[in-house]
Amino acid sequence: MNDRSEEVRRMALHLGFDAVGIARADEPLEVDYARYEEFIDAGYQATMDYLAAHASVRRVLSHPGILPGARSVVCVLQRYAVRLPSASTGIVGHIAKYARGLDYHNHMRRRLRKLADFIRKMESGATSRPLVDTAPVLERAWAARAGLGFIGKNGLLIRPGMGSFTVLGEVVTSVVLEPDEPMPSRCGECVACLQACPTEAFVGPYVLDARKCISYLTIEHRGPWQGEPKVAPWLFGCDVCQDVCPFNRGVGAWIDAGGPFDPRPQWHQLSLEQLACAAQSEGQIWMQASPMKRVRWEDWQRNVRGALGYDPP
């Protein structure tokens, strides 16, 4: 590995990321982009029109829509808390693990900007752009190309030793860095994630129909659901396909005590019944700085009814 790449790696770890990998940004995605096109053509994105927008931009990071002249992408990974204290009560167990604390975009973005500045200073006239779920980028595919892990059959990035309970970020740059080797898939014959899905949202390996996915139904979908999807007990998101993954065994003891992913106190105190009877003004206070603020209040009430499995009085 060249000196610049090693310096970037050390800085990323110094900033608190749990893993870092590097890939060529000017070589188009092939297999992952083909899967993306098939996903869109089948309409599996449901009402998430933004996933179909700017399709050509998603194939290569040197596209004018991302960073003209890009040569490298630095991909970083951050674990999040996956176990609750044994005495936990309230609604915390009904919330996807990544969303129980503060909005991860904010603290990831601050550190990615520092990393982008560090890389930019390596070379006169260099450009760098930090990204964290803010541009039409197939970030799991780029993370896999950078050797951070492999794409599991549930479509998530899996890093052996850390599992899949992670969030991703990138710095795209014109600076030439030495790329890492991709990691081969290690799913083998395992289909635990596909079989465990409560709503049978997986059409097959690597193919998710969002129209049936609990995460989509409780976060992205607006208005009433069609039919009566089996979302209970989930209030926001879903972790089932990750909970059953063998690569997440043995990594579930990690707790982000006092960190941004540490579950907020109100989630231990509130019950679904209390949330169902709450005023919108109370809810806005509870959701402040949380990923859950993404959901409209009327859809929150729909989610609460779904998590309860009935309409509260």
| Nearest CA among 91, 85, 201 for reference residue 154 | 201
One-character DSSP codes across 240-269: HHHHT-GGGTT-TT---TTSTTSPPHHHHH
- Under DSSP, the state recorded for 78 is E
Residue whose pair of structure tokens reads 């890492």 in the numeric block = 180
CB 36 within 8 A of CB 54: no
DSSP 3-state of 206 = coil
Q: How many residues does the chain have?
A: 313
Choice among 32, 133, 243, 262 that is catalytic: 133
> Is the link from the previous residue into 233 a cis peptide, with omega within 30 of 0?
yes
One-character DSSP codes across 120-145: HTTSTT--EEEESS-SS--HHHHHHH
CB 244 within 8 A of CB 196: yes
18 is catalytic: no
CB 97 within 8 A of CB 165: yes
Q: Catalytic residue numbers?
A: 133
